[in-house]
Structures are given as C-alpha cells and as structure tokens.
A and B are shown apart, each in its own frame.
Chain A
C-alpha cells in the first residue's frame, strides 16, 4: 500500500516538474532565417537565445565542398558576453550550398547547446515573411509555391543584411507594431513590405512611410492597401524586381582585377644575357677588379629598377561599390578584388564572402582568408544601409550598359572613384 502511494507521489511530482524540465531543455535556441526558413546563397538572420551563461562562444561550421573539390570549410564564430537571465544574440550569416552544417555554443568549461542542419533542407527560394498571429489567413495574396515564413515576433531585425533572402514582408496589424527602421531596412534590401489595411492606430507611424500605394525605398517597396490591392500591386511590381545575385556578379565583372607590374621576358632575357657576358669578360680580363665592377654595376642597376619593377605593395586590390538608391535610402553592393602576392593571410574588417568556393572565417575581428601566392580573391561585402544622394557625376561608360540592363527602366547611374550610385525610378 505504501509502495503504491509512493509511486503516485513520484508520478505527481514528475507531472509538476515536467514543464520546468522542458523549459530548462529549451533554454538555448538557435534560429537561422525567419521562422527557421534558411535561404541558401543569401545572408540570413541568426538569433541565439540562452539563459544564465557567460562568455559564450557561438560557432557555425559549414562544408561548402563538393565530391570533386573535397571539404571547403567556412567558420563563423561570435563571442557573447552573456550573463544571468535571458540573453539574445543577433547577427547575419551568409549560407552557401553546404554539405554539412553544424553549430555549437560553449563556455570555457562546457558545451551548452549544439545542432546541425540537414543539407536536404536547403532551399534557394526567397521567403515571404508574414507578421501575424494567424499567417494562414493571408495565403491568398501569394502565388502558388511561395515560401511562407510566419512569425508573431514584432522585434524584426533592423539590419539590412537580415532581409537579403526575403521576398516580401506582410504586416496585418494583429501583432505589436514593428519598428519603422526594420521596415525601411527590409524595403531597402529589396523586399516588398506590404501593410495590409485597415491597421490599428498603433501602426500610424508605419503608415507615414507609405503615402502612396507603392513607395520605393532602396531596392524594394513599401506597399499599402487591402488584400486585393496588395496582391495586384505586388504582382505588377514583381516584373521590376531586381535580380540582386546577377547584379552582384555583374558588379564583380566590372570591377577589373588588379594587375601586378610585369616585366616582359624579352627585356629580362636581354638584361641577364648582357650582364652574364659582362661578368665573364670582366672576370677573365680584370680579375678581382672586374668582379667588384660587375657587383657594383649589378647593385646599381637593381637599385634603380627596384621601384619600377617591384610593386610597392605586397597586396594590391580594386574596389567598386554600387548603391541602389530610392526614397533617401540605399542598399550597398560592394565588390573587392584582391591579390596578396606573397600569399599572406588576408584579414578584412567586417563580414565578406567569396564569390568562388574558398575557405574563410568570420569572427569578431573580421573576415580572414588564406589565399595562395598571387591568387585572385573576388569578394562581396555584407550589404548595409548606405547614405543616398551623394554628389556624383553621371556615369555613361559602355561597361555600365550590362549593369543598367539588370536595373529597372529609367534608372540613372552616377559615379565617382570606386563608387556607383543607381537612382531607381
């Protein structure tokens, strides 16, 4: 009898403690992309939530290799100070086509969380984010095959790169209002932000961003209207959507690779043969005096030609930045081509990604690559919200025609040293 009562007491205790145990188990969560919808070959938001841990290192390690190339590792890490209570860390991470992807969060003495992402879950389609308590109600606005990511969290990211893989953002007013800066960042990144009316009064500030049905900001739009209007305007504007991946490639193509100074082989041959004959003649007929003469002559010639033949910098690079501007906001696209002649480790401030398959590492200190000697690195920087409307001269060179063909009709291109600004209509 006592035994039975003890079992019942244990069962009751377990039932009471179960929610607390479950809550403890979910104390650390990592979310990649909006609502876990990771967009391949795009910058994705990464959010790590944890409790009661200090000095946490969050690491993501992905293999971008193929069967032919072998493993090509990408390492991303962040140092989080943390502390007691709830901690939320947010950043953006570019995810290419991975063979394996694992993440871990650890303190100095233990791993507090870890996980993997299945390569079969990769999807290059941009996502359509719905900020609503009932996202399913609005599916009619979207075409078939849309990749819907529903969220109720109104604390949307204000970093432009977070919205790189987002096709549209729908807000129906059933949640708390997000910040206007987040909407501006989403629109500037290229998303169509749709404000579904009627909206509660708390959304009036957001409506100030959309005086008309369609309002262009940076590379995207803020649309306002009822469901029918939004569906119509959005489908009309879809044809004007900028293919940002193609634009990045085109920009990298225009950004000519740096060229190290070269000596023609014929000149080298002429110089070394002449010098060799001089050495032989002087050694044979002038002995030690001849040796001293050719040594001095060689030193003099090399000293004179040093600056002409040798590049003054071991690292040479060319940089070209394109701003897609409209409504006072700009989305930046930045291409950097770099050659480190001796093959040193290249460390750059900020977050960059290579356009080709390269091993690289992003940490708090920036991005680092380990190129071979004389290897051309073609890099693209994480997009940011940039200043629009700089005083630049019109850029009308023929090499920009291909770039303009990727932008909406009526776009005017302005340019300065290393900078292009496209004023979208």
Chain B
C-alpha cells in the first residue's frame, strides 16, 4: 500500500482521533493555566507549552512504538509519519506562545526538536520492544525508554553540556542537542523506510506482524 494512503488511513482511525483530542485539550489547558494575569507579569507560557507538547508527543511515541513493535513494516512507517503530522498540527500552539513570551530561545530549534524527539523515541521503543520481544519481555520497553532518556540527561549533567537532554530549552547554544535528536529521528525514518521497502518488494520474506493496537 502507498505510504501516503497508509498515513491517511491512520489519521482517520479512532485511536489517532482520541489521542489528538487528548493532546489538544491538554495543550489548551496548559496554555490557559500558564497565561499571565497582570500587564507586567512575565509571560512564561512558551516554556510550559513547549515542554508539555514535547512530553505529550514523546509519551504517545513511546506507547505507539511499543504497540507497533509487531506490526508490518509499512504500518510502522505510517505510524511514525503520523507522529510527524501530529507534531506539525500542534506546532501553532508553541508558535503562539513563543510570540507572546519572548523567550531567550530559538523557535526553529524548538520546532525541529519537537518533531525529532517523538520520532526518535518511537524508533527506540520499537527497537527495544522488538529485541525484548524475543525473550517475551517487550513490555520492558515502556520503562526502559524513559530510563534511557534519564540516563542521557545524567550524562549531560556529568559533562556539563547540553547535548542529550530531550527536554532542555532549545536555545541557540543547544544546536548540538537538536542535531543529536535529529540524527536519531533520521536514522529511525531511514530504518523504517528501508524495512517498508524490503517488505513491499519481498512480501513473503517478512512475516506478517500480529501486534499493534
């Protein structure tokens, strides 16, 4: 099946509608709650909205990575691209908050990081679930990915650098951080595209997955 048609179908599913609704409601609430009341009170909305959006999409990616670990390669790629689409359609929330907050941060970096992080988390969850599935412990992927992210944050603490922490404020100085997560995201997309291509050319070579939600 054509990848665009697969994404189209995925976006129309009950699951995507429900998680999209959940994410949008959460973002509206975060935006409203963090909106300042006084004229001279600092508008820090962007810091909350950007972190909340990144966290929600990363959690969704974690769940979908685990859930799609046994799905066909084409479906895995479609789900990954669905995450990209969800990042794009929720981006206006972050841009609006950025416009009024005037943070000392780079909006392009933040937007790129919020697309790259869910894709990378999805790839990590998918990979870990697939490996652990061989020993019938795919569920371990769900706690392991957050542990991995925490470990990366600790490495940053030890190095006193901003390289791996996924929830750092994307300042212009955090180019290394954005590059790291972008590389992981590209690697995930390449891995899934190659897998989908192989599956399309040799449908009999790849066993049909039975997992997924």
Q: Residues of A at under 8 Å CB distance from B?
A: 257, 259-260, 262-263, 265, 268-269, 271-273, 275-276, 279-280, 283-285, 287-291, 294-295, 298-299, 301-302, 305-306, 309-311, 314, 339, 341-344, 372-376
Are B104 and A298 neighbours in the complex by a CB distance under 8 Å?
no
Q: Which chain B residue has the least Cβ–Cβ distance from A263? A: B100
Are B99 and A302 neighbours in the complex by a CB distance under 8 Å?
yes
Are B89 and A374 neighbours in the complex by a CB distance under 8 Å?
no
Are A283 and B12 neighbours in the complex by a CB distance under 8 Å?
yes
Given contacts A272-B28, A291-B89, 20 further A-B pairs with CB under 8 A are A260-B39, A262-B39, A268-B32, A272-B27, A272-B93, A279-B90, A280-B17, A280-B21, A283-B12, A285-B12, A287-B7, A287-B8, A295-B91, A298-B91, A301-B92, A306-B99, A311-B102, A344-B104, A374-B40, A374-B43
Are B28 and A273 neighbours in the complex by a CB distance under 8 Å?
yes
Are B99 and A310 neighbours in the complex by a CB distance under 8 Å?
yes
Are B4 and A309 neighbours in the complex by a CB distance under 8 Å?
no
Are A288 and B104 neighbours in the complex by a CB distance under 8 Å?
no
- Contact A280:B44 (CB < 8 A) given known A287-B7, A290-B11, A302-B96: no
Please pick, from A269, A287, A344, the residue contacting B32 in the complex, using a CB distance under 8 A.
A269
Q: Which chain B residue has the least Cβ–Cβ distance from A314? A: B102
In whole angstroms, how far apart are the Cα atoms of A374 and B102 in the complex?
9
Are B31 and A280 neighbours in the complex by a CB distance under 8 Å?
no
Are B89 and A283 neighbours in the complex by a CB distance under 8 Å?
yes
B residues 64-90 touching A (CB-CB < 8 Å) = 85, 88-90
B residues 102-122 touching A (CB-CB < 8 Å) = 102-104
Residue B150 lies at the interface, judged by CB distance under 8 Å to chain A:
no
Are A309 and B40 neighbours in the complex by a CB distance under 8 Å?
no
In whole angstroms, how far apart are the Cα atoms of A344 and B171 in the complex?
13
Q: Which residues in B have their C-beta under 8 angstroms from that of A295? A: 88-89, 91
Q: Which chain B residue has the least Cβ–Cβ distance from A313? A: B102
In whole angstroms, how far apart are the Cα atoms of A162 and B103 in the complex?
41
In whole angstroms, how far apart are the Cα atoms of A243 and B22 in the complex?
62
Residue B25 lies at the interface, judged by CB distance under 8 Å to chain A:
yes
Please pick, from A262, A276, A285, A299, the residue contacting B28 in the complex, using a CB distance under 8 A.
A276
Are B16 and A283 neighbours in the complex by a CB distance under 8 Å?
yes
Q: For chain A, what secondary structure do more than half of its interface residues adopt (helix, strand, loop), or is it mixed?
A: helix
Q: Residues of B at under 8 Å CB distance from A?
A: 4, 7-9, 11-12, 16-17, 20-21, 24-25, 27-28, 31-32, 35, 39-44, 85, 88-93, 95-96, 99-100, 102-104
CB distance from B179 to the nearest CB of A (A): 23
CB distance from B74 to the nearest CB of A (A): 15
CB distance from B47 to the nearest CB of A (A): 10
- Contact A342:B92 (CB < 8 A) given known A257-B40, A283-B16, A288-B4: no
CB distance from B42 to the nearest CB of A (A): 3
Are B102 and A341 neighbours in the complex by a CB distance under 8 Å?
yes
Q: Which residues in A have their C-beta under 8 angstroms from that of B96? A: 268, 271-272, 302, 309
- Contact A265:B42 (CB < 8 A) given known A283-B11, A283-B17, A288-B7: no
In whole angstroms, how far apart are the Cα atoms of A344 and B96 in the complex?
21
Are B20 and A280 neighbours in the complex by a CB distance under 8 Å?
yes
Are A372 and B42 neighbours in the complex by a CB distance under 8 Å?
yes
17 contacts between A and B (CB under 8 A): A259-B39, A265-B35, A272-B93, A284-B11, A287-B9, A287-B11, A288-B8, A291-B88, A295-B91, A298-B91, A302-B95, A309-B96, A310-B102, A314-B102, A339-B40, A342-B103, A375-B42
Q: Which residues in B have their C-beta under 8 angstroms from that of A283? A: 11-12, 16-17, 20, 89
Q: Which chain B residue has the least Cβ–Cβ distance from A265? A: B35
- Contact A298:B39 (CB < 8 A) given known A283-B17, A287-B9: no
In whole angstroms, how far apart are the Cα atoms of A283 and B89 in the complex?
10
Please pick, from A302, A342, A376, the residue contacting B40 in the complex, using a CB distance under 8 A.
A376
Q: Which residues in A have their C-beta under 8 angstroms from that of B32? A: 265, 268-269
- Contact A291:B85 (CB < 8 A) given known A273-B28, A280-B24: yes
In whole angstroms, how far apart are the Cα atoms of A343 and B100 in the complex?
14
Top 3 nearest A-B pairs (CB, nearest first) are A374-B42, A341-B102, A298-B92
Q: Which residues in A have their C-beta under 8 angstroms from that of B103? A: 342, 373
Most buried by B among A259, A262, A272, A342: A272
Are A343 and B104 neighbours in the complex by a CB distance under 8 Å?
yes
CB distance from A191 to the nearest CB of B (A): 38
Q: Which residues in B have their C-beta under 8 angstroms from that of A299? A: 92
- Contact A279:B24 (CB < 8 A) given known A269-B32, A342-B102, A374-B40: yes
Q: Which chain B residue has the least Cβ–Cβ distance from A340? A: B102
Please pick, from B20, B90, B92, B104, the residue contacting A302 in the complex, using a CB distance under 8 A.
B92
Please pick, from A268, A314, A343, the residue contacting B31 in the complex, using a CB distance under 8 A.
A268
In whole angstroms, how far apart are the Cα atoms of A356 and B61 in the complex?
49
In whole angstroms, how far apart are the Cα atoms of A280 and B28 in the complex?
14
Q: Which residues in B have their C-beta under 8 angstroms from that of A343? A: 104
CB distance from A310 to the nearest CB of B (A): 4
- Contact A288:B11 (CB < 8 A) given known A273-B28, A302-B95, A310-B99: yes
Q: Which residues in B have their C-beta under 8 angstroms from that of A301? A: 92
Q: Which chain A residue has the least Cβ–Cβ distance from B17? A: A284
CB distance from B23 to the nearest CB of A (A): 9
Q: Which residues in B have their C-beta under 8 angstroms from that of A289? A: 8
In whole angstroms, how far apart are the Cα atoms of A302 and B186 in the complex?
28
Are B42 and A373 neighbours in the complex by a CB distance under 8 Å?
yes
Are B20 and A279 neighbours in the complex by a CB distance under 8 Å?
yes
Q: Which residues in B have their C-beta under 8 angstroms from that of A263? A: 100
CB distance from B165 to the nearest CB of A (A): 21
Q: Which chain B residue has the least Cβ–Cβ distance from A298? A: B92
CB distance from A420 to the nearest CB of B (A): 24
